[in-house]
Amino acid sequence: MDTAPMRVVIADDEPLARERLRALLAGLGGVEVVAEAGDGHAALHACAEHHPDLVLLDISMPGIDGLEAARHLAAFEPRPAVVFCTAFDAHALSAFEAQAIDYLVKPVRLERLAAALERVRTFAAGMAQAASEDGSDGQRRTHLCARLRGSLRLIPIEDIHYLQAEEKYVVVHHARGEDLIEESLKSLESEFGERFVRIHRNCLVARHEIIELRRIGDGHTQAVLRHGEHPLEVSRRCVSQLRDTLRHL
């Protein structure tokens, strides 16, 4: 049975450096370069579009540098492995603090690149094994990623007030406004159930945001939020469980 090639994004502000990495990867085989980027912002867009297994990431780039880009990539789902490729070895500690798999000093040698790819494969296999054993992806996200008009916005989970489904999107209501994400409410509830509670088939609310359950006419109930402009409707099937949840907060 054939193994799918490793999907790679190359991010470096020097075209010759990108060309050299592409040539080295072609010589190794088992790899597909799905995109190239000349800065950290473009690298994030490429990863959001192509979902690579690996990003070969330069550190010194204009705008968002490689270290900052790596911190944002850690919030992506699925999360790509990161291997830094840099002309300087002074950033090694910062690179591994950014959870890089490996750190290659330019000019990158073929044998070191091959070893880095092997480390990435071992890492990916370990993550897959952990996911199969505990039913999770091995690491809970700290951010959600919204895409709008060609730009990306990373939204910290702790800043989210509530999540509301609208057609094929979920509206994320957070401390700085609203954004749309293309994820299902069900998957978000499964991943972040310790932080959010369901109040309606189309709404999850951060537990700490609910300050009161208010009964209104016709037996309906509303949730009053700490930061919400308006109360939110609570479905009848959720009221009992929600009251019990709030008693234990």
Q: Same structural domain for residues 82 and 36? A: yes
pLDDT at site 138: 46
**Based on the domain organization, do 181 and 98 belong to the same domain?**
no
Domain contains 10: yes
Which range of residues forms the domain containing residue 56? Answer: 6-134
Give the predicted TM-score (pTM) of the model. Answer: 0.58
Count the domains in the chain: 2
The answer to whether 53 and 7 are in contact (CB under 8 A) is yes
Same domain, 93 and 127: yes
CATH number of the domain at 192, please. 2.40.50.1020
Same domain, 123 and 162: no
27 shares its domain with 124: yes
Does any domain span residue 61? yes
Read off φ and ψ for residue 46, nearest 5 degrees: -60, -40
What are 192-235's pLDDT values in tens digits?
A: 988 999 999 999 999 999 999 998 877 789 999 999 889 999 99
Tell me, yes or no, whether 17 and 50 share the same domain: yes
Same domain, 21 and 126: yes
What is the distance between the alpha carbons of residues 22 and 207, in angstroms, rounded to a whole number?
48
Average of per-residue pLDDT across 137-145: 67
Query: Is residue 19 predicted with pLDDT exceeding 90?
Result: yes
Q: pLDDT tens digits for 27-66?
A: 998 999 999 999 999 999 999 889 999 999 999 998 888 8
